[in-house]
Amino acid sequence: MHRDGLVLVLNKPAGMPVHSVAGGKSLHLSQLLYAWQYGLKQPPLLAHRLDRDTSGCLILARHRQAMIRMTELFATRQVEKCYWAVLDGVPATESGTIDAPLVDMKRPGGVTVRLARPDDGDEALEAVTEWRVLAVQDRRTWIEFRPRTGRSHQLRVHAASVLGCPIVGDRLYGRHEAAGLHLHARSVSFAPRANKPPLEINAPVPDGLAEVLARFPYVPSPD
């Protein structure tokens, strides 16, 4: 979706892991980075991650200096990320900020999940998410998330545990009746060059999710 001398922004498909997973032999995006060298001697570097089942904006740094810059931007929270999701249920209010730290816990069978536990002190990881409802239809909610921290599974846990409305298709934190996680990294905004205006990149919504969103009484601004 975007390429310049410092960064690339890809529209990652849902279902593709960014890194190899334990015991997994399936293709992952890290194995394909050479395809985006575009004349440079080394492949680009992953500036951050997306869950395997999340689609949308993924930033790559084209070389080490660009990676240093992107690491600084993420560390100082100067990368604005917007996600769209469909929730199973309707939150009690139309917008808010969730400040609920996360802790890891193992379920029977050895599966590690994350829980929102604001009282676990030093063991908990800070996790803050701003959100607002875009539309409601048939007890499902089209929601916008703007995470202020970048924890693994943050939006999924905050939706299920704090809002009480898991993301549709979330097999780990929700119900199993829908195919595919209804979570899309819609846009990113950041300034790879300190002396220039920030980039604003929107990722087109995948077809399956677009069909679901079309049922809601809301029309977003054009890209």
> Is 77 part of any domain?
yes
Does residue 42 belong to any structural domain of this protein?
yes
Length of the chain: 223
Residues contacting residue 205 through CB under 8 Å, at least 6 positions apart: 55, 84, 184, 186, 213
3-state secondary structure 33-62: HHHHCCCCCCCCEECCCCCCCCEEEEEEEC
CATH number of the domain encompassing residue 155: 3.30.2350.10
Task: Report, as an integer, the average pLDDT of 56-66.
Answer: 96
Query: Is residue 223 domain-resident?
Result: no
Name the average pLDDT for the chain.
89
Burial call 139-158: b when 16+ CB within 10 Å, e when fewer = ebbbbbbbbbeebebbbbbb
Confidence (pLDDT) at 15 = 87
Question: pLDDT band at residue 125, thresholds of 50, 70 and 90?
Answer: confident
User: For the whole prediction, is pTM greater than 0.85?
Assistant: yes
Q: Is residue 155 part of a domain?
A: yes
Q: Calculate what percentage of the chain has a pLDDT beyond 70.
A: 88
What's the confidence (pLDDT) of residue 110? 52
Q: Is residue 121 part of a domain?
A: yes
Tens of pLDDT, residues 30-52: 888 888 989 899 999 999 999 88
Q: Which of 7, 185, 158, 10 is nearest to 87 (CA)?
A: 158
Residue 151 domain-assigned (yes or no): yes
- pLDDT of amino acid 120: 56
Query: What does the block give as tokens for 100?
Result: 């609920």
More confident residue, 114 or 68: 68
Q: Is 99 a catalytic residue?
A: no
Domain count of the fold of the chain: 1
| 218 found inside a domain | no
User: Would the pLDDT of 159 be above 60?
Assistant: yes
Q: Is residue 31 part of a domain?
A: yes
Q: For the residues of 124-147, what is the DSSP string, one character each?
A: SBP-EEEEEEEEEETTEEEEEEEE
Containing structural domain, residue 26: 2-213
Structure tokens that stand for 82 in this block: 């917007």
pLDDT higher than 90, residue 26: no
The DSSP H or E segment spanning 209 is: helix 207-213
Question: Hey, which bits of 100-207 come out as E strands?
Answer: 102-106, 112-116, 128-137, 140-147, 183-190, 199-202
Q: How far apart are CA 122 and CA 140, in angstroms?
A: 35
For residue range 196-219, list pLDDT tens digits in order.
999 999 999 999 999 999 999 887
Cβ proximity of 129 and 77 under 8 Å: no
Which member of 4, 51, 88, 104 is catalytic? Answer: 51
pLDDT digits (tens, 9 = 90+) for 172-191: 888 766 678 999 999 999 99
> Residue 59 burial (CB < 10 Å; 0-12/13-18/19+)?
buried
